[in-house]
Structure 1
Amino acid sequence: MPCLQPSSRIAILGAGLMGRLLACALARQGHQIALYDAHGPQADGAAARVAAAMLAPLAESAVTEPGVVRMGQHALNRWPQIIAELDAPVFFQQNGTLVLWHRQDASDAQRLCALFDKNRRINPSLPALQTLSGQALHDIEPATTHRFSQGVYLPGEGQLDNRQLLAALLATLTRLGVEMHWETPRELSDFAPGSAGQPGWVLDCRGLGARTAWPQLRGVRGEVLRVHAPEVTLQRPTRLVHPRYPLYIAPKEDHLFVIGATEIESDDMSPASVRSTLELLSAAYTVHSGFAEARIVELSVQCRPTLPDNLPAVRRLSERVLEVNGLYRHGFMISPAMLDVVLELLTTGDCPLARDFDVAVHQ
């Protein structure tokens, strides 16, 4: 595979999370970047805009592979570095994850904790979970007092504000002089990289927009509420064990909370149903009664780009065309690792990092 030469011309398709991260990194290296997106600068067509942006490798180890967990650990170190280089502030918190359950769901919680312990044996660098009850639970999260008698704390896990991050990346791209083409959908067939008058490289980061070139992609629907709840004082991402709705609540700044649970095998983008909305709100209320007086700011639906094995991948369609896709539900947790994988591949033609993270690089 050829390597990037200084001041290469690069077209990036898709200005969601991966597209913006790659555009920023490559522009800083002195390359000439043209960024194309089918939607507008607010990333309104991107899965990254509708996300809780939790960075929770131990919590996610219950539903994904060890390589993704290692990418999540990598992200906890990389996100502060990435954010420090941006032109606007981004809320970032590394205050751990709290997992709670009601008494009737104790058996499900025991199975989940057993999974966490098993995954720590596979990856001993993961922090040990802390079992909490009574006063210890109150000390970690006073807002749960009188509602829960036990829980577990996963130290070191984090989160960031996805909307602030996307805006900060946009501001940085503007300063770096990246050519941005909004409301301008493009296909790989629109380019002949390396030819006269054409970019030297094309990077496809379109998510589900890339299905014309990568038909194995499918959408996995998620429904996410954003609420303003001044009476709620949760200090960290909190997950509720539930047999049907394993709820998460991610507190952002100024008492804004992102609440979600649904993961539906469908690329249906119609509005959320009354039933799923009621179940989300009811479950949140059982965590903290202050959600009863919260104001619903937004109820969003989006589909996450997912490959058949639910794992991310890089695909080289030709010597100068790379596709990056399949971040599924782990976009913010694994995107720094995927960024570093692609940069290494472009710079050296090889990618030990991809092997470290078990990322498939299809030739």
Structure 2
Amino acid sequence: MRIAIAGAGVLGRLLAWRLARMGHTVQVVDPATGPNAPALGATLSQPVAAGYTAAGLLSPLAELDHAEPELAALGWRSIVMWRDVASSLAPHAPQTLLRVQGSLLVAHNADMGSALRVMVKLRSACEADPSAWPAPEIVPASELRVMEPELLPGLSAWWLPGEGQLEPRLLLDALAAQATGVQWHWGQRVAQVHAGCLRLDDDERIDCDLAIDTRGLGARADVPGLRGVRGELVWLHAPGVHLRHPVRLLHPRHRVYIVPRAGQHIVVGASEIESEDRSPVSLRSAVELMAAAHSVLPGLAEARIVHLDTNLRPAWPDHQPRIEASPGLLRITGLYRHGWLLAPALVEDALCQVLPEPAHA
């Protein structure tokens, strides 16, 4: 088939890579100037894919605090599929793109009431279907010192087995670089997506057998109702800090994650802020994020601030993703803060609705 994709974020690149491998003729249109990740700290003239402003957490168990079990089930499917993607893109070193080594939830003793309410919710979901959900495990203080010796002593901690993390910048670049035969149209914006056609801002059109819309918030002209949810990240260079696993801090006001990344970096972020403001990170947000991270990882005191990043994640009012398929047209919208967690499973489910051959080919 001749397939045209609007948007080169996580979904767009994953679709392009998979469809090209299946033998389809694929074109992708995106307003970014090129396929590579923007430099940390660079001043950008236009928004970039929300996938770049993400910690890349694959946390279906932790998400049961806020999401339905159906979403977590998609996440567990996606982790298995991400393993295959990473092995294909980096056969000699898939761990550079993906690590599935579990994660930690931690809480200060003063916040145990809030933390225990979260754990009750997670355990209830796991007990409802023990075969599907690995239950969180209490980590004794002696074991925590071995697992993560640089965490603040005295924290309460729970182990979430089977969770993982991606390197979003490296993975997005690899998907574009290895999508053999795909024709990329960088620096062009899609105004509308119709069945069998992409209409660009300059009135040019790309005709195709199947048009796919993965523009995120850029799709609002065609699908009103999407809203933006602000996400914020702090990039720290911390060569003296050795964090082995992603850590989430359970706190009555903040949902803060602390994630080790390549190049001796640590990313600190907040899961969601109900705002469509794209302006730089505020003083209050930056202070709260870094203070929360420092409260559980004291070694960050000497880390250097490399980059403060913001972006908007596309979401529907119910926070559930949507797949809309009709002859000649496919839309995948509203991934909220779950883009990396859900992308492979959503791609597979969507392609099963529009392609004559199996989507796993």
Aligned match of 2:350: 342
Whether the aligned pair in 2 keeps the contact of 1:87 and 1:169 (CA below 8 Å) is no
Whether the aligned pair in 2 keeps the contact of 1:227 and 1:258 (CA below 8 Å) is yes
Do structure 1's residue 103 and structure 2's residue 109 form an aligned pair? Answer: yes
- Paired with 1:197 and 1:212, the residues of 2 have a C-alpha distance of 18
Whether the aligned pair in 1 keeps the contact of 2:5 and 2:16 (CA below 8 Å) is yes
Question: What's the % identity of the aligned pairs?
Answer: 39
Whether the aligned pair in 1 keeps the contact of 2:6 and 2:193 (CA below 8 Å) is no
Do structure 1's residue 233 and structure 2's residue 242 form an aligned pair? Answer: yes
Cα offset for 1:349? Answer: 9.2
Do structure 1's residue 288 and structure 2's residue 281 form an aligned pair? Answer: no
- Paired with 2:113 and 2:306, the residues of 1 have a C-alpha distance of 35
Aligned match of 2:126: 120
- Paired with 2:195 and 2:184, the residues of 1 have a C-alpha distance of 16
Whether the aligned pair in 2 keeps the contact of 1:98 and 1:238 (CA below 8 Å) is yes
- Paired with 1:249 and 1:50, the residues of 2 have a C-alpha distance of 14
Aligned match of 2:148: 141
Tell me, which stretches of 5 or more residues in structure 2 are unaligned?
Answer: 38-46, 199-204
Task: Please show how residues 79-90 of structure 1 align to structure 2 within 5 Å.
Answer: 79-86=82-89, 90=96
Aligned residue for 1:257, secondary structure, equals strand
Whether the aligned pair in 2 keeps the contact of 1:227 and 1:296 (CA below 8 Å) is yes
Moved more, 111-120 or 251-260: 251-260
- Give 1:33's match in structure 2, choosing from 26, 47, 61: 26
Aligned match of 1:357: none
| Higher strand residue share | 2
Aligned match of 2:17: 24
- Paired with 2:316 and 2:194, the residues of 1 have a C-alpha distance of 24
- Paired with 1:142 and 1:136, the residues of 2 have a C-alpha distance of 9
- Paired with 1:25 and 1:302, the residues of 2 have a C-alpha distance of 26
Matching residue's letter, 2:186: W
Whether the aligned pair in 2 keeps the contact of 1:23 and 1:178 (CA below 8 Å) is yes
Q: How many residues align?
A: 340
In structure 2, the CA distance between the partners of 1:282 and 1:197, relative to structure 1 (3 Å rule), is closer
| Higher helix residue share | 1
Tell me, which stretches of 5 or more residues in structure 1 are unaligned?
Answer: 1-7, 354-363
- Paired with 2:339 and 2:253, the residues of 1 have a C-alpha distance of 23
Cα offset for 1:294? Answer: 0.8
- Paired with 2:194 and 2:78, the residues of 1 have a C-alpha distance of 34
In structure 2, the CA distance between the partners of 1:350 and 1:164, relative to structure 1 (3 Å rule), is closer
Task: Please show how residues 124-203 of structure 1 align to structure 2 within 5 Å.
Answer: 124=130, 125-144=132-151, 146=153, 148-173=154-179, 176-188=180-192, 192-193=196-197, 198-203=207-212
Task: Please show how residues 207-356 of structure 1 align to structure 2 within 5 Å.
Answer: 207-261=216-270, 263-316=272-325, 318-348=326-356
In structure 2, the CA distance between the partners of 1:283 and 1:224, relative to structure 1 (3 Å rule), is same
- Paired with 1:34 and 1:143, the residues of 2 have a C-alpha distance of 47
- Paired with 1:262 and 1:347, the residues of 2 have a C-alpha distance of 34
Cα offset for 1:121? Answer: 2.0
Cα offset for 1:155? Answer: 1.1
Moved more, 71-80 or 89-98: 89-98
Whether the aligned pair in 1 keeps the contact of 2:152 and 2:297 (CA below 8 Å) is no
Matching residue's letter, 2:148: E
In structure 2, the CA distance between the partners of 1:87 and 1:346, relative to structure 1 (3 Å rule), is farther
Alignment TM-score, normalising by the size of structure 1? 0.89
- Paired with 1:80 and 1:29, the residues of 2 have a C-alpha distance of 19
- Paired with 1:179 and 1:308, the residues of 2 have a C-alpha distance of 34
Aligned match of 1:42: 36
Matching residue's letter, 1:42: N
